[in-house]
Amino acid sequence: MHNTKKESEKTVLVCYSNKNAKNTLHTEESLTELKFLAETAGAEVIGTFFQENDNFDPRFMIGKGKVQEIADYVSENNISLVIFENELAYTQLRNLEQKIKCKIIDKSNLILDIFASNARSAQAKLQVELAQLEYSLPRLTRQWTHLSKQFGGIGTKGPGETQIETDRRLIGTRIKVLKEKLEKVSEQRKTQAYSRKKFFRISLVGYTNVGKSTLLNALTDSDVYVENKLFATLDTSTKLLELVISEDEKGKTKFPKKVLISDTVGFIKNLPHNLIESFKSTLSEVIESDLLLHVVDISGENFPEQMEVVNDTLNEIGAGGKKIIHVFNKTDVLTDTDVIKSMKKLYGDSVFISAEKGLNLEKLITAIKSELNKENSERTLKLKADDHKKVSKIYEMAEVSRIKYLKSGIKVTFTTNDKNYSYLEKLIQ
């Protein structure tokens, strides 16, 4: 037997912050998250460099002295990879590689690599490939300089074209094909979404690795894949959550409400825009939901900043106006309990849980039921005398208070929300 385990690349992380830039998201804390990302991708982080100044260098981004410092460190420690927190232009990548003498990538490239490793479904693979190609297209000059000679001869006629132009055209064609395939997937999702209209739909949203998949498993008794890594979940997982809205005097269920709850891909600071664009068909589940559960890792030092990133991303995909319940997770490992008091004041609709330990999940269920009940009102529909299957459907989707069997048909009075009533009304018509 041969040992085929891939050896970890010795890696250095670099983050640059411009003092003059407004609302910069690049701080020393960013290196902690970048380190987690690099380790998720399988890198061995040996060192980190952070520079903050007001002298932005368009050639290297960081100062020339810092470039030399990193180059010396790379040479002395046999480093094979340098990862920048900041997005790098292709000219900066080229200039840095000439000076530092090793492979250099930026955070966007790193995230795309992780997404490519974690993509399981055909849809996720299409989305990742599209994002990778759109990322690489403007960087062809750096990647193909060794092939940029013109060629001509038989079959080309005229001066010919450069290899870069050929590859750019091929990539452009592939991007077009991928977009067409994803458009078809999007249409299929719309068909699936229509069949789900009779259900109240909830989506779990939040920063990556805050425990959304663990919460989905705890609520629905399912076994969605969970791992302590960034972007472990790329594909949307939808499960059925059955809630008992009320009980009669004997404690028997009067109104079981079926709810669909979906786990979605986690967000992250400085998530590449083309990645968000590529995953819009997956994130459409969020847009179509009736309620969002914003899951937050309250034990993390930077959770307020992470909440802001999630809110910005929701606005970007068109889901900013959705009703949200803030679910503060991982309270079992929280050291400063005063944080809970301050969050209760800021977010009156908040719930504090531990998905892993199953703590306070009943309070979350109560909050969800409360949102369901807010939309409910009493309605009446008249059916034909032999429409017993439709009567059963009303019992399934609503709380029936009165039913009268008349000579002209069946008169049913029930309580439900607008969406369910609209579905039942069309069904009966």
Domains and CATH numbers, the chain: 10-114 (3.40.50.11060), 119-183 (no CATH), 196-374 (3.40.50.300), 377-428 (3.30.70)
User: How many CA atoms lie less than 13 Å away from 63 in the CB half-sphere?
Assistant: 12
pLDDT, tens digit (0-9, with 9 covering 90-100), for 196-253: 666 788 999 999 889 998 999 999 887 765 555 556 555 667 888 877 655 544 444 4
The whole-number pLDDT of residue 76 equals 96
pLDDT, tens digit (0-9, with 9 covering 90-100), for 150-191: 444 333 334 445 666 777 788 889 989 998 988 887 777 666
Return the structure tokens found at 139. Answer: 């960087």
Cβ count near 100 (within 10 Å) = 22
Q: How much of the chain, in percent, has pLDDT values that exceed 70?
A: 80
pLDDT, tens digit (0-9, with 9 covering 90-100), for 297-353: 999 888 999 999 999 989 988 888 889 999 999 999 998 889 999 999 999 889 999
The better pLDDT of the pair 279, 51 is held by: 51
* Residue 258 DSSP SS3: strand
Taking the mean position of all CA atoms in its chain, how far away is CA 242? 25
Cα gap 288→264, rounded to integer Å: 13
pLDDT over threshold 60, residue 380: yes
Share the mean pLDDT of the chain. Answer: 81
Cα gap 264→235, rounded to integer Å: 7
The whole-number pLDDT of residue 1 equals 40
CB 42 within 8 A of CB 9: yes
The candidate with the shortest Cα–Cα distance to 182, out of 287, 280, 115, 116, is 280
pLDDT over threshold 50, residue 18: yes
Return the structure tokens found at 154. Answer: 């038989």
Phi/psi at 280 (5° precision): -65, -30
pLDDT, tens digit (0-9, with 9 covering 90-100), for 92-117: 988 999 999 999 999 888 888 888 87
Q: Compute the residue count for the chain.
A: 429
The better pLDDT of the pair 421, 334 is held by: 334
